[in-house]
Structure 1
Amino acid sequence: MAQESIVPPLSQGWGYGVIIGIGIAFALGMMGITYLLRKYSHEDNSNFETYSTAGRSVGVGLTATAVISSWAWSTALLSSGTITYSYGIGGAFWFGAGCIVQICTFSLLAIQSKLKTPHAHTILEVVKARYGTIAHLVYMALCLINNLIAVINMLLGASAAISALTGMHVVASIFLLPLGVCLYTISGGLRATFVTDWAHTVALFVIVLYLALKTLTSPQIGSLHDLWNTVNEAALQSPVSGNYKGSYLTMTSPSSVEFGILHTLGNFGLVIMDSSYWQKAYSADVAAAVPGYLVGGIIYFGLPWCLGSVMGIGSLALQNFPSWPAFGRELSTSELNAGLILPYASMAVAGKAGAVAVVIVVFMAVTSTMSAELIAVSSIVSSDVYHTYLKRDATGKQIMWISHLACIGFAIIGCAVSVAVYYGGVSLTWTLYFLGVITCPGMITMPLTVLWSGQSKVAAIVSPLLGMAGGLATWIGTATHYGHGVVSVETTGLLLPCLWGSVVSTVVPAISTVVLSYAFPSPPFQWDQFQEIELIDDSPTPSLDFEEKATESPLDIEFSQDSNSVNIHPIKAETYMQKMSIVSGVAGAFAFVVFWVLWPFSMYGSRFIFQPKFFSGWLVVSVIWVFAGFLVILFLPPLDGRRQITTIVKGVLGRT
């Protein structure tokens, strides 16, 4: 029997040291930052408004960083290389293209939410305000399922990689990863999430660049022309099924396109049904919402494109050298499903240093995204359950306590379910393929809540349920077909059953919401009814940070102090948001046409195999894309917050 694992290059101490040591160090650091913000910027994180929306004053830099951090899952880092190793260089491109369109499109939802729902804390509050209790409960269930599958996906991938590299038990890794996250999320709220997003993202970019450059300059790889030759030889020995001439270096790859469609649909559902993305939209300053999401989306594209291309294609050459951890045998299915191409390639070019780099980057990715999920779920439980149904007169501090308990509770539940599915044989790849089936049903009707006044209550409630039922039925039915009558973890995790299930989960609600809206119409919704959503604030006085941010805004916004005012936005701000809605819509369409249609399918139709110069340019440009993004992320957030940083530094030095 072929060996299916390697001897861990690092001791278990490395695993526990990174997860517990760095995790707690980050938590203590973020607690310190939270204390400084409270003391010198008067940003009170014991106030629910500040805790859940960061004062609604976050700038472009931190918004973009939060977007990248929310997308930079351990799954993306681990799976992009595996998809490329399996399907060819098109896999890495489609991994990136399957993410950029959603982020750019979400910028429209972000600015429309700022315009129409200025007091919302969660998207579920908006759903309830428009459609009532039944719809509120339906979408709450969909959002919580979405958050749970996201956490499972992250923890399974991260724990498998850490276990392979350190020998640390998977169960221990799963339960310890959220430890530090809970500490700084509870103490700092969404602002702490934004600050840690920046620290994590900077570290992530540094390590990605290190691994990419280390691989491209390694003696085993040789020159880029040598790599091209080696990859072509690999295609002759083991051609990729369906690819043009079996080549790894072609975009004419049906499997890559199938994955691209599945990945795009699943990620659309994941973004829209994940309330953490909406919360980050609510937290952004009016002038930062659209630029923040667009900058974040463009920068993020380079991460899976670069890392997947370099490490996935590089692995085809590295596997021929004794430094390759699985040298002398083919990789097992379990190793591929666990996303171990990145760890193995890193070890091949950098030894133990590469293993350490992967452990740290995976830890950074999973804790950063985990924090956003915890904030999202804790806000749902505290605001949409406790405050809405259990205690309407609850104070902000009482809601905060429930939020803290919900944060801890969801972390425990997420870890427990992850352990259960791990022992059930579910892998990182299985959850990556499957998630679209259950995230897509609400992805059409949820945005229409703030975009289309004609969507009826019946359509909003029934359509996602029809999509969920149809998607699950199609998934099981096609798994039975492609599995020759067998329904198992293996057959239900195949690409095509998950693809067809995701397509049905998307298309059925898209059609039914229009049909039902006209068959069972509701009166056209008046957008000003969203103003009935109330702030949850024990202190009516705005924080100093918010006042400073408002006066710094390029819009020169002066918010009305009249709580009875019908027009909550000044005319200048409303005009700006309407213009930015057009900009974001055009940007989303442009991203779709360029990154999802023209670029990939023009190359697909050309039946073109990368030649040495084109191949070299492809890899070099992907690395430059990441490096440029790193510079933006490194300098833009501190530049945005320079006044606040100066205030804190002066306060610490006693010069206020």
Structure 2
Amino acid sequence: MVTTTAIILTAFVFYLAMMIVIGAVYMKKTSSSEDYFLGGRGLNGWVAALSAQASDMSGWLLMGLPGAIYSLGSGQIWIAVGLFIGTVLNWVCISGRLRKYTIVANNSMTIPAFFENRYRDKKKILLLISSIVIVVFFLVYTASALAAGGKLFNTVFGLDYHVALAIGAAVILCYTFMGGFMAVCVTDFVQGTLMLIGLLVVPLVAYFLLPGNLTDLITQSGVTGGANAYLNPFINGDRPYTFVEIFSQLAWGFGYCGMPHVLVRFMAVRSEKELKKSWVIAIIWDLLSLTAAFAIAVIGRAYLLPTILGENGAASSESVFIEMIRKVFTSQLALPFIGGLFLCGILAAIMSTADSQLLVTASAVSEDLYHNFIKKDADSKEILRVSRITVIVIAIIAFAIAWDPNSSIMGLVSNAWAGLGAAFGPIVVMSLFWRRTNLQGAIAGMVTGGLTVIIWDYIPLVGGQTLGTYTGLYSLAVGFLLSLVVIVIVSLLTKAPSKEITDEFDKVAAK
């Protein structure tokens, strides 16, 4: 008799094979570095929207966020609120302007190249700093995705975490290496669709299968303060949430305008018309998926009883969605395959971010570092070859970072999101909307944002504690705001940008 595990494994094999086939198809269509990094600026609205959101949300959406809400209560929803606001502003305010500006600014293919062209950085200082920022923080970000994949395979199939980690990394590496940007975007479109279906169906089915009243069951699960406190977004256990705690969670939204793997989708959209379609689709997808992630955590708290995740040898709280799928879809032989496909939705979330991060890091190394600092006469095919080698190297290093099975997905994502958001977010905003911003201000702001996050999160300055731990304030909020202030002050104290730069700015603003 075919076992449930074998049926679920069949679903996984089917899904992974489909992703690799997509990579192979687009490998034949990838002949230049522009094809590999931007897909020839040919994305349609649907693919751009779902690709951007799928690559943005990652395993964090299906594991990290539900796990935090499951453990700590509805107060963790402020992160989702901040991210939704950030998503809306990013698509409505940033996407169109960035797409136009990167075309006007010497057809920039990467965010570091855009900074260089925008400010006529002949010494390539901005290019170097931004490329290093991408490599450092994306290593951590990619590691978080690989760790989520390892935990998924470990929980579902009982595989050793390190074996599971290797399998997930190998598949992601395979299709990213082959197909480049279009393979990543098309697979992200499939994965974004699968993620949304799983997010909507699983909590709905689980809710109707509850053996009693939701609030009574949540209270029975032993949450501090009972169901009323657990479901109140302003209560943290037995005390009110502080302003700093809520602000820190909302501050996650600052990070959006500094995420290269999201911004590059804006640059690659086929036309203004397609871009407007994209942001409507993306905002609806984001609202539905974040709401569903919250429902997974809350309903899962009641549905999984008597099991309480994270206690008495049970799986960690970050596995709440996995455990719900396993419990919902094991009652009949026909259902495990469907459950397997929904579990693939978690894998989809993981893969859709890891592949994008690998690709952006590869572009930073090959196009921005190798082509500009090591071999300036490298042709497009050579840059493409270096890009593919970089994908392999970065995947191996991220694999090493993710080696610890106890690493927190939420923690890794939080650190990487803060670093990228604080270093890039302010300069992206000011580059697009403040005519007076100059090269010196841009350099100072980027360095300030990145260093603030590192100092805030990693250096113990107060009684053996970091400033982040001591104050409870998220480093992204501090780094982003300090960077903005520094950009303004340094730009005003130094020479105004040249007429060539301001004329280009005016040309974009007038479109």
TM-score scaled to structure 1, two decimals? Answer: 0.67
C-alpha separation in 2, matches of 1:97 and 1:258 = 15
Shift of the 10–520 alpha-carbon distance from structure 1 to 2, 3 Å rule, reads: farther
Q: Which residue of 2 aligns with 1:74?
A: 59
Confirm whether residue 512 of structure 1 aligns to residue 486 of structure 2.
Answer: yes
Q: Displacement, 1:301?
A: 2.1
Q: Which residue of 2 aligns with 1:347?
A: 326
Confirm whether residue 429 of structure 1 aligns to residue 417 of structure 2.
Answer: no
Q: Displacement, 1:259?
A: 5.8
C-alpha separation in 1, matches of 2:132 and 2:208 = 49
Q: Which residue of 1 aligns with 2:19?
A: 26
Shift of the 156–258 alpha-carbon distance from structure 1 to 2, 3 Å rule, reads: farther
Q: Which residue of 2 aligns with 1:121?
A: 109
Q: Which residue of 2 aligns with 1:165?
A: 156
Preserved contact between residue 50 and residue 192 of structure 2 (Cα < 8 Å): yes
C-alpha separation in 2, matches of 1:410 and 1:524 = 38
Q: Which moved more, 1:463-472 or 1:453-462?
A: 463-472
C-alpha separation in 2, matches of 1:506 and 1:51 = 31
Deviations along 1:141-197, one digit per CA (max 9) or x if unpaired, are: 112223222212222223223212322122222222132223322332211222112
Q: Which residue of 2 aligns with 1:227?
A: 214
Shift of the 451–10 alpha-carbon distance from structure 1 to 2, 3 Å rule, reads: farther
Aligned match of 1:464 in 439, 446, 452? 446
C-alpha separation in 2, matches of 1:397 and 1:436 = 32
Aligned match of 2:401 in 399, 405, 417? 417
- SS of the counterpart of 1:441? helix
C-alpha separation in 1, matches of 2:477 and 2:83 = 17
Preserved contact between residue 15 and residue 168 of structure 1 (Cα < 8 Å): no
C-alpha separation in 2, matches of 1:351 and 1:89 = 29
Deviations along 1:41-73, one digit per CA (max 9) or x if unpaired, are: xxx421222222122132211111112211231
Confirm whether residue 175 of structure 1 aligns to residue 166 of structure 2.
Answer: yes
Q: Which residue of 1 aligns with 2:284?
A: 298
Shift of the 157–359 alpha-carbon distance from structure 1 to 2, 3 Å rule, reads: same
Supply the AA of the counterpart residue of 1:51: Y
C-alpha separation in 1, matches of 2:250 and 2:312 = 27
Preserved contact between residue 155 and residue 418 of structure 1 (Cα < 8 Å): yes
C-alpha separation in 1, matches of 2:314 and 2:456 = 25
What is the CA RMSD across the aligned residues, in angstroms? 3.4
Preserved contact between residue 19 and residue 176 of structure 1 (Cα < 8 Å): no
Shift of the 106–500 alpha-carbon distance from structure 1 to 2, 3 Å rule, reads: closer
Shift of the 202–394 alpha-carbon distance from structure 1 to 2, 3 Å rule, reads: same
Deviations along 1:350-392, one digit per CA (max 9) or x if unpaired, are: 4484974564222111112222112212222221122222232
Preserved contact between residue 363 and residue 387 of structure 2 (Cα < 8 Å): yes
C-alpha separation in 2, matches of 1:112 and 1:428 = 33
Q: Displacement, 1:283?
A: 0.9
Aligned match of 1:438 in 416, 419, 423? 419
Preserved contact between residue 23 and residue 179 of structure 1 (Cα < 8 Å): no
Aligned match of 1:372 in 345, 352, 356? 356
- Structure 2, gaps ≥5 residues long: none
Supply the AA of the counterpart residue of 2:445: S
Preserved contact between residue 221 and residue 308 of structure 2 (Cα < 8 Å): no
Supply the AA of the counterpart residue of 1:278: L
Q: Which residue of 2 aligns with 1:601?
A: none
Shift of the 285–25 alpha-carbon distance from structure 1 to 2, 3 Å rule, reads: closer
Preserved contact between residue 453 and residue 524 of structure 1 (Cα < 8 Å): no
Supply the AA of the counterpart residue of 2:287: F
C-alpha separation in 2, matches of 1:374 and 1:525 = 37
- Structure 1, gaps ≥5 residues long: 1-8, 39-43, 532-565, 579-656
Supply the AA of the counterpart residue of 1:98: G
Preserved contact between residue 453 and residue 526 of structure 1 (Cα < 8 Å): no
- SS of the counterpart of 1:69? helix
Shift of the 346–368 alpha-carbon distance from structure 1 to 2, 3 Å rule, reads: same
C-alpha separation in 1, matches of 2:181 and 2:96 = 19
Shift of the 437–109 alpha-carbon distance from structure 1 to 2, 3 Å rule, reads: closer
Q: Which residue of 1 aligns with 2:201?
A: 210
Shift of the 25–257 alpha-carbon distance from structure 1 to 2, 3 Å rule, reads: farther
Supply the AA of the counterpart residue of 1:121: M
Shift of the 435–368 alpha-carbon distance from structure 1 to 2, 3 Å rule, reads: closer
Deviations along 1:282-317, one digit per CA (max 9) or x if unpaired, are: 1102222243134203321221221322x2222332
Supply the AA of the counterpart residue of 2:356: A
Preserved contact between residue 203 and residue 299 of structure 2 (Cα < 8 Å): no
Aligned match of 2:260 in 245, 259, 275? 275
C-alpha separation in 2, matches of 1:492 and 1:157 = 28
Confirm whether residue 51 of structure 1 aligns to residue 36 of structure 2.
Answer: yes
C-alpha separation in 1, matches of 2:75 and 2:351 = 29
Q: Displacement, 1:257?
A: 7.1
C-alpha separation in 2, matches of 1:333 and 1:486 = 33
Q: Displacement, 1:86?
A: 2.9
Q: Displacement, 1:96?
A: 2.9
C-alpha separation in 2, matches of 1:233 and 1:203 = 33
C-alpha separation in 1, matches of 2:96 and 2:375 = 31
Preserved contact between residue 142 and residue 358 of structure 2 (Cα < 8 Å): no
Shift of the 332–448 alpha-carbon distance from structure 1 to 2, 3 Å rule, reads: farther
Q: Displacement, 1:77?
A: 0.7
C-alpha separation in 1, matches of 2:203 and 2:242 = 22
Preserved contact between residue 76 and residue 249 of structure 2 (Cα < 8 Å): no
Q: Displacement, 1:106?
A: 2.2
Preserved contact between residue 272 and residue 447 of structure 1 (Cα < 8 Å): yes
Q: Which residue of 2 aligns with 1:62?
A: 47
C-alpha separation in 2, matches of 1:85 and 1:377 = 33
C-alpha separation in 1, matches of 2:23 and 2:267 = 22
C-alpha separation in 2, matches of 1:454 and 1:413 = 40
Q: Displacement, 1:10?
A: 7.6
C-alpha separation in 2, matches of 1:416 and 1:441 = 25
Q: Which residue of 2 aligns with 1:501?
A: 475
Preserved contact between residue 49 and residue 278 of structure 2 (Cα < 8 Å): yes
Matches for 1:286-365 after TM superposition, within 5 Å: 286-287=271-272, 288-309=274-295, 311-321=296-306, 324=307, 330=311, 335-336=316-317, 339-351=318-330, 353=336, 356=340, 359-365=343-349
Q: Which residue of 1 aligns with 2:392?
A: 408
Aligned match of 1:200 in 186, 191, 199? 191
Q: Would you say how many aligned residue pairs link Structure 1 and Structure 2?
A: 491
Preserved contact between residue 96 and residue 303 of structure 1 (Cα < 8 Å): no
Preserved contact between residue 422 and residue 450 of structure 2 (Cα < 8 Å): yes
Preserved contact between residue 162 and residue 359 of structure 1 (Cα < 8 Å): no
- SS of the counterpart of 1:124? helix
Preserved contact between residue 59 and residue 148 of structure 2 (Cα < 8 Å): yes
Q: Displacement, 1:233?
A: 5.7
Shift of the 58–476 alpha-carbon distance from structure 1 to 2, 3 Å rule, reads: closer
Aligned match of 1:384 in 348, 368, 391? 368
Identity level (%):
16
C-alpha separation in 2, matches of 1:332 and 1:430 = 21
Supply the AA of the counterpart residue of 1:180: V
Q: Which residue of 2 aligns with 1:605?
A: none
Q: Displacement, 1:467?
A: 3.4
Shift of the 289–188 alpha-carbon distance from structure 1 to 2, 3 Å rule, reads: same
Q: Displacement, 1:528?
A: 7.4
Confirm whether residue 110 of structure 1 aligns to residue 112 of structure 2.
Answer: no
- SS of the counterpart of 1:393? coil
C-alpha separation in 2, matches of 1:31 and 1:474 = 43
